[in-house]
Amino acid sequence: MAGFISVNASPYLAVGNGAIDLTPVELKDFAVRTFGTYDKLVLLGSMVGVAALAGVLSRRSPVPGTALIALFGLVGAIAVYQRPDLTAVALLAPLASLVTGIAVFLLLHRIEPRTWWSAKSGVQAGTSRSAFLLGGAGVVAGVGAAGLGGQLISSSRDAPRRRRRSESWFRRGPRR
């Protein structure tokens, strides 16, 4: 969705940029000194780590993970709404992320391999590992396809600027 609207409409990037904007200068300087050019990567990676925590908290019930994803969706929507370069239409990107995130989480939670003990028949198995791995692989493929599609869409929207740049290059030649 962000590819159709604006790259800045991505809730993932909007939350990261919002966190950077709200971080005190001393903490930013510490992050740059500690992580160097990887400071933003560490910030975005920590967001992924919190998302993984949702999975760990949801071993028995999908409620904690769903609540955490909903909270992330709300924070993403607020971050996108706060961006000065975006309009209300940009809220479609975090809404799509929220709906997709909850749907995928519930799907993976439903097909997660489980075993439990029954007094009548001993250990019983739930979904198989292969079903879970296939489901996870499908999610990874879907995320990859969506990411690639978003990149292609957002880069094709910038075609007029690239065309002007290449035309000026042909007129004056490469810079030396």
- Tens-digit pLDDT profile for residues 108-154: 888 776 655 555 555 555 556 777 778 788 888 887 887 787 777 76
Count of domains forming the chain: 1
Within 58-158, residue ranges assigned H as helices are 63-82, 92-111, 129-156
3-state secondary structure of 70: helix
**What six digits make up the tokens of 35?**
């992580």
3-state secondary structure of 112: coil
Task: Check pLDDT > 70 for residue 169.
Answer: no
**Predicted TM-score of the model (pTM):** 0.63
Q: Could you list the residue range(s) of the whole structural domain that residue 22 is in?
A: 2-172
pLDDT-derived band at 164 (thresholds 50, 70, 90) equals low
Query: In the predicted model, what is the mean pLDDT of the chain?
Result: 76
Task: Check pLDDT > 70 for residue 159.
Answer: no
- Report whether 54 contacts 68 (CB < 8 A): yes
What DSSP character marks residue 157? T
